[in-house]
Amino acid sequence: MHLEEQQRQQAAELQRRAELEKQQEDDRQLQKQKASLMEQLAEKDQEQEQKREHDTAEEPINEATNRMVAAVELKNMQSIKVAQMTLKAGNEK
């Protein structure tokens, strides 16, 4: 009887250890997944920031191009020079 009780306790202890090890492995996997998702999120944020910067730099270029076209159509040299300077400044960004 005493031997059976010891065997049951050992089996229960082995079961608890196995469950604990499984839980620890599950936790490690979740941490890996979380780290991977956080990395992907950071990459997306960086891509979006680069796109915003590009769009911001593109605005004055588009505006200057439109001014240039209008100035050329009107043959207004002063406006052409202003548009060229704006275009150059936008390209430097």
pLDDT in tens, 21-75: 999 999 999 999 999 999 999 999 999 999 998 888 888 888 888 887 887 777 7
Q: Where residue 87 falls among pLDDT bands split at 50, 70, 90? A: confident
Say if residues 46 and 34 touch (Cβ distance below 8 Å): no
| Boundaries of domain holding 73 | 2-92
pTM higher than 0.75? no
As a whole number of angstroms, the distance between CA 90 and CA 62 comes to: 9
- First-to-last alpha carbon distance for the chain, in angstroms, is 85
Total number of domains in the chain: 1
Q: Is 60 exposed, middle or buried (0-12, 13-18, 19+ CB in 10 A)?
A: middle
HSE-CB of 7 using CA atoms within 13 angstroms: 4
